[in-house]
Each structure stands twice: as structure tokens, then as C-alpha cells.
């Protein structure tokens, strides 16, 4: 990797880290919301992949 690429990656990571705000407290409600969001996202991705596979296979 060239030095210019390393500099670009470092600036990008610093910019992304500057945007991240940390929570003062992480309680059970936050954990539940995170798990629920991850579950819904995973189910949605699987549903989209299943729909795509069926349309490509000619079942729809």
C-alpha cells in the first residue's frame, strides 16, 4: 500500500471516529433494541435473497 493510501485511510478513520458519539449508559432497553434491530435486519436480508433466488429460478 502506498503512503498516500495510508494517509487517506487514516484521515477517513479519524473522520468516522469523530462522528461516533458514545452513550453515557447502555442499559437493557438499548441491548434489546440492538438485538431486535439486528434480527429484523437479518430476516429482511434473508427474505430479499429468497425472493431474488425464486425470481431468478422462474418460480414467481
The pTM for the full model equals 0.55
Q: How far apart are CA 19 and CA 2, in angstroms?
A: 26
Q: Is the pLDDT of residue 2 over 60?
A: no
Q: Is the dihedral of CA 18, 21, 24, 29 positive or negative?
A: negative
Instruction: Give the pLDDT of residue 31.
Output: 87
pLDDT digits (tens, 9 = 90+) for 22-48: 667 778 888 899 899 999 999 999 999
Amino acid at each position: 500500500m502506498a503512503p498516500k493510501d495510508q494517509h487517506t485511510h487514516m484521515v477517513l478513520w479519524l473522520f468516522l471516529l469523530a462522528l461516533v458519539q458514545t452513550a453515557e449508559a447502555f442499559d437493557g432497553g438499548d441491548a434489546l433494541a440492538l438485538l431486535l434491530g439486528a434480527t429484523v435486519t437479518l430476516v429482511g436480508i434473508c427474505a430479499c435473497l429468497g425472493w431474488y433466488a425464486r425470481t431468478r429460478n422462474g418460480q414467481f
